[in-house]
Chain A
Amino acid sequence: MSAKNSVNISFSVNGENFDDVTVPTRQHLADYLRSQGLTGTHLGCEQGACGACTIELDGVAVRSCLVLASQANGSSITTVEGFDDEIMEKVKNNFLKHNAFQCGFCSPGMLMTTKEIISSKKKLSRDEIRAEISGNYCRCTGYQSIVDAIEESINEIN
């Protein structure tokens, strides 16, 4: 690949360092992560509308289809594969308990948004939870069970 078509960057994903890796300049971050086997990050629209590709970049939930891989230089990224702390275990168990997913394609993005909700430490009403996740599309569940799972997580953790 010629120099102008690619760029070398460094960043970390789920605690693992990616040092001086070559990424195509036009590649979005979701495609890059998926090409590295991190296939838990899903693509539903590639235009920022569905939330399936949501990841955490330097502590903020972002849509990885709207970020170029090259823009991640110097950042620290968490994907669904990196959710192993106690809080996210509780959240995952609540998702399981309430069957807050059917096909599971939206789940990585939903969990990412949930993580942000939980870390805001706010006590949210069901309507407020619905507002918070209204950037994440789910075709299967009708959302109610997802709201149930997030509601219980907030009560349990915050």
Chain B
Amino acid sequence: MDDIKVNQNPKLGSMDRPNSYIGRSLPRENAKKHLEGGGQFVDDLVLPRMLHVAFLRSPFAHAEMKSINVEVAKTSPGVFDVYTAKEIDEYCKPWVGTLGHLGEMRSPEQTPLAEKIVRWQGEPIAVVIANNRAQAEDALEVIEVDWEEKDAQVDMETALDDNAVVIHPELGNNLFWTRTVNQGDVNQAFKASHAVVETTLDFARHTGVTLESRGIVADWNKAEGKITIYHNGQAPHMMQHIIAKHLEVNEGLVRIVSRDVGGSFGIKVHVYPDEMAAAAISKKLGRPIKFIADRLESFTTDIHARCHKISGKLGVDKKGKILAMEINDLSGIGPFSMYPRTSAIETNQVLNLSGAPYIIPNYKAVGTVVFQNKTPMCQYRAVGHPIAVAITEALVDKAATKIGINLHEIRKKNFIPDNAYPNKTPSGVPLEDLSHQASMDKLLNMMNIDDIEKQKESNLAKGVLTGYGVIAMCEVTNPSPLFYGVGGAHISSQDGASIRLEGSGAIHLSSSITEQGQGTEAIMKQIAADQLGVSMDSVRVTLGDTDATPYGGGTWASRGAGIGGEAVLKAARTLKENILDIAAAIMQTDKNSLDVENNTVIRKNGGEGITLQQLAETVYYRGHELPKGTNPELLATASFLIEGIPFVFTNSAMGCKISIDQDTGIVKIDKFWAVEDCGTQINPKLVEEQIKGGVIQGIGGALFEECVYDDQGNMQNATMADYLVPMAYEMPDIIVDHVTTNSGRSIIGAKGAGEAGTGGAPAVIMNAINNALNQLGKEVVSQPITPEKILKALGKI
């Protein structure tokens, strides 16, 4: 995408001025290191005296360890030691994955290694510490465990039955959390409805499959009492607190360094037992410890996502106006709620987000979250969105069909009008600055539905099933303290930026936002250079180091640009004011007659200016030349946080056209369109990449990805050859466009853009497939929508 042509946000100044970088698709020059093999990922790090660990993991979904013998393993070549739960527990206190603000959550204490009972296949039970990973793995082979297998509660749908296997007997049953939302009177409204439609959708488990697996190098320095953790995570300051609390280290002496991270998508924002064990071992041994998950470990221990079954009901009047919506969602989260964000949030978002684009006066939603003997499930990109959007949009399509109006007309009829914000979701969550109407209009312009309808007909005559879908959605971004902090979690919702002019005239910027490839560094630079009036190459950025950056939340829930970016903007503006104050003193003129352009303080009316280098040299080296009383402050720091509302929402409209091969059941995505309103785009190309990458992950969930389990809770496809991910050949080109409604919460006006693709694609793909299948009176209701499911729906198998 090209630069933004029209000024997207008047608060940011004209785009015609020098050093106007906000709104431009500048390349990420610094990221070129990745093309030279110069990235610095955790596994690339080698420290003196470093040891490696490998974990023995449960082969069963539910079993009791009668005994374990690690003596032979201790004598295996290269092995330093072998530990089980009791050695690790001495150095790491247990944790509990509950929060206080969402009603009662019940999840037991979890320790790094299971002591007696294992509750999912892949749960760690012992750890070998060796000179290298290969030797550690060899030693795992000779650890002897006497197992007694137990019945496993694999199916979430029977988890609350009377005869269910209770995974944590002390809790009495397998219920983790439940929530009910009730607005208006749905029963009454359904009675009054002209038509009521219903459906039940299934969403399999899938997982993040970051190409770089989880990893940690922990380095305890006994003399200083300080631990440094090199970690490919997303939220360094959260991790700092967690390590301090559970390893009992002074929090100020915990340093978390996140260098390059090979993709995260929410997978790497949680606390994992094996990583905590590695940190504990470093503290115990006083040596650096490296743990890098292999792909099998990634599949069985990275959090899984989704795992929902949701039924929904929608009532409309004669003209298609929605009168009521009701949903009932069940989700299975494995045997523990993840720490510290809990595994309740996905269901919570399903309840919050269902029906969000529309005026729905009567809304009821029930969410039930249960334990089961599978890998823990937790927040992954677009938390809850795929389920909420798919159920809403499936019901809306059904209602349109039932009363005989167009798929897009029914949506337009029910949207909260663009001029009716602030408003609320049907569940009561505040909404601001959205544009469903404008976005849908733009989408429809791009799609040309009349043309697609014609193709549908002519293709059907040729035996090809063609279909299309259009959806609208709200996307959760820029969370406030009302998301986690209010519930007691030490997760900052504030982010900070610190920016300074150095003696050389260079600008250094640090931010608490982290980089996993989104382009954080690039956009921070753009904002700083733009607001200061300096060239891009004079700004350098430090991220991902708790010893070197301001305190803050990090990167998750699409908060980097909107929250972290605003902090940079504020800090840059303050620094510029300081620079102009000093310049006015040096140049003996009125501050208002000065500005900064191209790294130089200029006189607006002409005449000689001074470069930032000259100014900095005067301040730093020849301060005696400054007029008395001049404030020599060339460092500015600012913070930003969203206040008063839980999130800043973004909205999207998406469309796609697919065709189905009736003989193979294979779906081909012919076209995919997305319109996103994320407010100010700091770098349009990077926004576009978030949408495209997100859509492809959404298509993965819709068509391919599934963690397949057998009845005993064994994951059947825990390799990259067996678990299907989207590869280039099957994926479409995606056409992206935008509507711009700036967020009124900040000067920069940016909302997030990382979730929509993944949150919306499953709904629009499913609707398009059902639009095609409906021609034969068929439908599919379960994701991933595999060829097999399509052939079954078609009655071919």
Residue on A nearest B698 in the bound complex, by CB: A142
Mark out the residues of chain A between 38 and 77 whose CB falls within 8 Å of any chain B CB in the assembled complex. 38-50, 52
Mark out the residues of chain B between 112 and 142 whose CB falls within 8 Å of any chain A CB in the assembled complex. 134
Mark out the residues of chain A between 137 and 155 whose CB falls within 8 Å of any chain B CB in the assembled complex. 137-147
Mark out the residues of chain B between 724 and 763 whose CB falls within 8 Å of any chain A CB in the assembled complex. 725-729, 731, 733-734, 757
Residue on A nearest B694 in the bound complex, by CB: A142
A80 at interface, CB cutoff 8 A: yes
CB–CB B731/A101 < 8 A:
no
CB–CB A102/B689 < 8 A:
yes
Given the interface contacts A49-B721, A99-B27, A136-B728, does A108 sit within 8 Å of B733 by beta carbon? no
A44, A105, A129, A135: the one within 8 Å of B295 (CB): A44
Given the interface contacts A52-B211, A145-B689, does A44 sit within 8 Å of B720 by beta carbon? yes
CB–CB A103/B261 < 8 A:
yes
Question: A97: which B residues are within 8 A, CB to CB?
Answer: 27
Residue on B nearest A79 in the bound complex, by CB: B37
B212 at interface, CB cutoff 8 A: yes
Smallest beta-carbon distance A111→chain B, Å: 6
Smallest beta-carbon distance A16→chain B, Å: 14
CA distance A50 to B28 in the complex (A): 25
Mark out the residues of chain A between 14 and 48 whose CB falls within 8 Å of any chain B CB in the assembled complex. 24, 26-27, 31, 34, 38-48
CA distance A139 to B209 in the complex (A): 7
CB–CB A107/B720 < 8 A:
no
Given the interface contacts A49-B721, A146-B728, does A138 sit within 8 Å of B211 by beta carbon? yes
CB–CB B39/A105 < 8 A:
yes
Question: B35: which A residues are within 8 A, CB to CB?
Answer: 80, 83, 92, 95-96, 101, 104, 107, 111
Count of inter-chain pairs, beta carbons less than 8 A: 174
Most buried by A among B37, B212, B295, B757: B37
Smallest beta-carbon distance A45→chain B, Å: 4
B33, B41, B726: the one within 8 Å of A105 (CB): B41
Question: B208: which A residues are within 8 A, CB to CB?
Answer: 139
CB–CB A42/B41 < 8 A:
yes
Question: A31: which B residues are within 8 A, CB to CB?
Answer: 134
Residue on B nearest A103 in the bound complex, by CB: B517
A3 at interface, CB cutoff 8 A: no
Given the interface contacts A38-B37, A140-B263, A145-B689, does A105 sit within 8 Å of B212 by beta carbon? yes
A133 at interface, CB cutoff 8 A: yes
CA distance A137 to B729 in the complex (A): 11
B34 at interface, CB cutoff 8 A: yes
Question: B593: which A residues are within 8 A, CB to CB?
Answer: none
CA distance A39 to B34 in the complex (A): 11
A156 at interface, CB cutoff 8 A: no
Residue on A nearest B45 in the bound complex, by CB: A39
CB–CB B686/A104 < 8 A:
no
Most buried by A among B208, B209, B695, B728: B728
CA distance A105 to B29 in the complex (A): 16
CB–CB A104/B34 < 8 A:
yes
A49, A95, A130: the one within 8 Å of B728 (CB): A130
CB–CB B39/A141 < 8 A:
no
CA distance A123 to B753 in the complex (A): 35
Question: B38: which A residues are within 8 A, CB to CB?
Answer: 40
B36 at interface, CB cutoff 8 A: yes
A42, A146, A147: the one within 8 Å of B211 (CB): A42
Mark out the residues of chain B between 163 and 193 whose CB falls within 8 Å of any chain A CB in the assembled complex. none
CB–CB A139/B210 < 8 A:
yes
Q: How large is the interface on B (under 10, 10 to 19, 20 to 34, 35 or more residues)?
A: 35 or more
B162 at interface, CB cutoff 8 A: no
B265 at interface, CB cutoff 8 A: yes
CB–CB A47/B211 < 8 A:
no
Smallest beta-carbon distance B21→chain A, Å: 16
Smallest beta-carbon distance A3→chain B, Å: 15
B597 at interface, CB cutoff 8 A: no
Residue on B nearest A27 in the bound complex, by CB: B134
Given the interface contacts A45-B295, A136-B728, does A102 sit within 8 Å of B32 by beta carbon? no
CA distance A27 to B31 in the complex (A): 31
CB–CB B28/A99 < 8 A:
yes
Given the interface contacts A42-B262, A104-B35, A131-B729, does A137 sit within 8 Å of B693 by beta carbon? no
CB–CB B696/A143 < 8 A:
yes
CA distance A105 to B517 in the complex (A): 9
B516, B729, B731, B733: the one within 8 Å of A103 (CB): B516
Most buried by A among B34, B134, B685: B34
Question: B29: which A residues are within 8 A, CB to CB?
Answer: 96
Question: B43: which A residues are within 8 A, CB to CB?
Answer: 34, 39, 43
B518 at interface, CB cutoff 8 A: yes
B681 at interface, CB cutoff 8 A: no
Interface 1/0 per residue, A100-123 and B, CB below 8 Å: 011111111001000000000000
B212, B693, B720: the one within 8 Å of A42 (CB): B212
CB–CB A139/B719 < 8 A:
no
Question: B134: which A residues are within 8 A, CB to CB?
Answer: 24, 26-27, 31
Given the interface contacts A104-B260, A140-B263, A141-B689, does A80 sit within 8 Å of B36 by beta carbon? yes
Question: B686: which A residues are within 8 A, CB to CB?
Answer: 99
Residue on B nearest A82 in the bound complex, by CB: B37
CB–CB A46/B211 < 8 A:
no
Given the interface contacts A92-B32, A99-B686, A134-B728, does A139 sit within 8 Å of B261 by beta carbon? no
A47, A135, A141: the one within 8 Å of B693 (CB): A141
CB–CB A47/B728 < 8 A:
no
CA distance A102 to B263 in the complex (A): 8
Smallest beta-carbon distance B463→chain A, Å: 23
Given the interface contacts A40-B38, A99-B686, does A104 sit within 8 Å of B31 by beta carbon? yes
Residue on B nearest A136 in the bound complex, by CB: B728
Question: A41: which B residues are within 8 A, CB to CB?
Answer: 37
CA distance A96 to B44 in the complex (A): 23
Question: A43: which B residues are within 8 A, CB to CB?
Answer: 43
B643 at interface, CB cutoff 8 A: no
CB–CB B212/A39 < 8 A:
no
Most buried by B among A41, A43, A44, A142: A142
CB–CB B692/A44 < 8 A:
no
CB–CB B31/A96 < 8 A:
yes
CB–CB A47/B265 < 8 A:
no
CB–CB A142/B211 < 8 A:
no
A24, A47, A126: the one within 8 Å of B719 (CB): A47
Question: B209: which A residues are within 8 A, CB to CB?
Answer: 137, 139
Smallest beta-carbon distance A77→chain B, Å: 13
Question: A129: which B residues are within 8 A, CB to CB?
Answer: 728
Residue on A nearest B37 in the bound complex, by CB: A40
Smallest beta-carbon distance B211→chain A, Å: 4
B347 at interface, CB cutoff 8 A: no
Residue on A nearest B691 in the bound complex, by CB: A142
B58 at interface, CB cutoff 8 A: no
CB–CB A142/B695 < 8 A:
yes
Question: B757: which A residues are within 8 A, CB to CB?
Answer: 142
Smallest beta-carbon distance B205→chain A, Å: 17
Q: List 10 A-B contacts (CB under 8 A).
A: A24-B134, A45-B295, A96-B28, A104-B39, A105-B41, A137-B725, A139-B725, A140-B263, A141-B696, A142-B692
Given A80-B36, A142-B693, A144-B692: 11 more A-B contacts, CB < 8 Å: A44-B295, A45-B721, A81-B36, A92-B32, A96-B27, A96-B35, A99-B686, A103-B34, A103-B261, A144-B731, A145-B692
The 8 A-B residue pairs with the shortest CB-CB distance, nearest first, are A40-B37, A104-B34, A102-B517, A103-B517, A105-B262, A142-B696, A80-B37, A49-B720
B residues neighboring A (CB under 8 Å): 27-29, 31-39, 41, 43-44, 134, 208-213, 260-263, 265, 294-295, 516-519, 685-686, 689, 692-697, 719-721, 725-729, 731, 733-734, 757
